[in-house]
Amino acid sequence: MSKVIFLDLDGTLTDAGPGIKNCFNYALERMGLPEIRTNNDWIVGPPLWDSFAKVGVADDQLDHAVDLYRERYRDIGYLENALYDGVLDQLSRLKDRSFALCLATSKAAEYAVKITAHFGVDRYLDHQFGSELDGTRSAKTDLLKHGLNVTSSSAQDAVMVGDRSFDIVGAHANEMAAFGVLYGYGNQDELEGAGADGLIQDPSELAHSLITFFE
């Protein structure tokens, strides 16, 4: 059976922070709430509902906040984004070693596939797993369980790679190993605190770190 690598999108393959933050603040502004302009890296990664709840959006207004976010994101926000240097080369190296590569993002799949197609990432991916528009499978625990089932993969033959604690916790909940990347929107304390099985300092180390892990 092929070894399977599940890859987060925002903060792992692409620097999606500018678009996510701009759309988040767009939604807050439309709702008459204060924008979050400083110390806001935490916005990148968690499910949107959780992030809007954290800044005080009422439970009965969370869906509306997400809709406003997506109003800007679907046309503009997803393009306020950039591949991390060397990511495509790293994915190519992993494919050359016969790994199965799967996207695993809390972002709605409808938007995730637009981003991977725009940046040419999709040609390296065997599967693309994202959440539903209503938030189903936005939690990494649920998403990775779904990914393992669809790919008929053993948790022992799989690893999750992401930049936030949610990626590590979701992988471990499914008895998978998990690597944290330090060039994204989490930090070493967050990733180590979540129990990351390894840390990747730079995108250029992605393939080597994962090949070495499975040897």
Residues marked as catalytic: 8
Ordered strands of the 158-162 beta sheet: 127-131, 100-108, 4-7, 158-162, 177-181, 198-200
What backbone phi and psi angles, to 5 degrees, belong to 158?
Answer: -130, 155
Quote the tokens at residue 117. 């197609």
Are 185 and 9 within 8 A, CB to CB?
A: no
86, HSE (Cβ side, Cα atoms, 13 Å): 11
Which residues, other chains included, contact 52 with Cβ-Cβ below 8 Å and sequence gap of 6+?
24, 27, 62, 65, 66, 69
Nearest residue to 76 (alpha-carbon basis) of 23, 126, 128: 23
Q: Is 150 helix (H, G, I), strand (E, B) or coil?
A: helix
Token pair 């959780």 is at which residue? 50
Which residues, other chains included, contact 56 with Cβ-Cβ below 8 Å and sequence gap of 6+?
33
